[in-house]
C-alpha cells in the first residue's frame, strides 16, 4: 500500500507536511515567486481568478494579490493588477461566504458575471438535455457551469491581457475532482502539490477567519443537490485523502477508493489523445 501511495504522491508532486511556521512561510514565498515569474515570462501584468466562497479560491487569490502587490513595490509599475471574479449562477446560495472572501482578499478589482443566461441558453439548444434523464442532465449541466465560468475568466483575461489562475491541488487532483476544460483549465496553478489541510493552513497564515478556512468544501454545481459537500461525492474525507497523499496509514477501504478513483480519472490529468 505504501509503495502505491508514494508513487501517486510523486506523480502529483505532493509537498511534505509543513514542519513549522517557518516552513509554511517559505512555501508561501516560493509560490508567490512562482506567480510573479509566470507573469514575467508571459510579459503580462494582470491575473484573473474566480472567487467561489471556498478556501481554495480564497487561498489562490491571497497568493495572487500578494504577488502583484510585491511586483508593484519592486518595479514601481502600478499596472500590475489582480482581478477577482464572482461567477454566480443566478443567486448563489452561499453568496455571503463569497463576499466574506472578497473582504479578506482586498483584490485590486472585483467583477461579477452571472453565468446563468449562457448556461441556460446552451441547455435549451441541446436536444438531449431537454429529454434526458433528470439526474444525468443535472450532472452534465453542472459541468457546463464549470466550463462557462472558465470561459468568462478567459474572456476577462483576454480583454485585459492577463493570465487565469487555477485552484487545483493534490487532494482534488488525486480524485479527479474537477471539470475537464472547466475548473481544470488555467494558465497557472499555484496550489498544485498541496493537500487540503495545507491549503487551509496557508489561508489561515494570511489571517483568513476560521469560518472560511474550515468551511465545508462544495463544488455546488448540481441543481438537484445544491451545496453538496465534496466529501459526499468522494465517499471519504479530505483528512483521509491528505493522509493517503502524505504516506500515512489508511484503511483498506480508503486506499481502494482513492486508487480506483485516481486510475479512473487519469484522462483528466493528461493532454488530449494524439496519434
Which residues are the active-site residues? 56, 172
Answer yes or no: are the C-beta atoms of 219 and 180 closer than 8 Å. no
Q: Look at the block and give the residue holding cell 490529468.
A: 269
Answer yes or no: are the C-beta atoms of 198 and 265 closer than 8 Å. no
Q: Which distant-in-sequence residues (6+ apart) come within 8 Å of 203 by Cβ?
A: 55, 58, 59, 62, 212, 213
DSSP 16: P
| CA gyration radius, the chain | 19
Q: From the CB of residue 13, how many other CB atoms can be counted at a distance below 10 Å?
A: 11
- Helices 238-245 and 252-264: crossing angle in degrees, nearest 10, is 80
Query: What are 93's three cell numbers?
Result: 446560495
As a whole number of angstroms, the distance between CA 166 and CA 137 comes to 26
Amino acid at each position: 500500500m505504501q509503495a502505491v501511495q508514494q508513487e501517486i504522491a510523486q506523480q502529483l508532486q505532493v509537498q511534505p507536511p509543513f514542519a513549522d511556521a517557518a516552513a509554511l512561510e517559505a512555501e508561501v514565498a516560493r509560490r508567490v515567486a512562482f506567480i510573479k515569474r509566470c507573469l514575467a515570462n508571459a510579459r503580462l501584468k494582470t491575473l484573473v481568478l474566480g472567487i467561489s466562497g471556498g478556501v481554495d479560491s480564497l487561498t489562490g487569490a491571497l497568493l495572487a494579490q500578494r504577488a502583484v502587490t510585491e511586483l508593484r513595490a519592486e518595479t514601481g509599475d502600478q499596472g500590475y493588477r489582480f482581478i477577482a471574479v464572482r461567477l454566480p449562477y443566478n443567486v448563489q446560495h452561499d453568496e455571503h461566504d463569497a463576499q466574506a472572501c472578497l473582504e479578506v482578499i482586498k483584490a485590486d478589482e472585483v467583477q461579477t458575471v452571472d453565468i446563468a443566461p449562457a448556461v441556460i441558453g446552451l441547455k435549451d439548444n441541446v436536444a438531449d438535455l431537454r429529454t434526458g434523464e433528470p439526474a444525468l442532465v443535472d450532472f452534465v449541466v453542472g459541468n457546463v457551469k464549470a466550463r462557462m465560468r472558465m470561459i468568462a475568466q478567459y474572456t476577462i483575461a483576454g480583454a485585459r491581457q492577463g493570465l487565469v489562475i487555477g485552484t487545483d491541488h493534490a487532494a482534488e487532483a488525486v480524485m479527479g475532482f474537477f471539470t475537464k476544460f472547466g475548473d481544470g483549465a488555467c494558465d497557472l496553478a499555484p496550489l498544485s502539490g498541496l493537500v487540503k489541510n495545507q491549503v487551509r493552513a496557508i489561508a489561515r497564515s494570511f489571517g483568513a477567519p476560521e469560518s472560511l478556512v474550515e468551511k465545508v468544501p462544495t463544488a455546488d454545481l448540481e441543481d438537484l443537490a445544491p451545496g453538496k459537500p465534496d466529501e459526499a461525492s468522494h465517499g471519504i474525507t479530505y483528512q483521509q485523502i491528505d493522509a493517503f497523499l502524505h504516506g500515512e496509514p489508511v484503511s483498506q477501504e480508503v486506499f481502494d477508493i482513492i486508487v480506483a478513483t485516481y486510475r479512473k480519472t487519469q484522462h483528466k490529468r493528461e493532454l488530449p489523445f494524439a496519434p
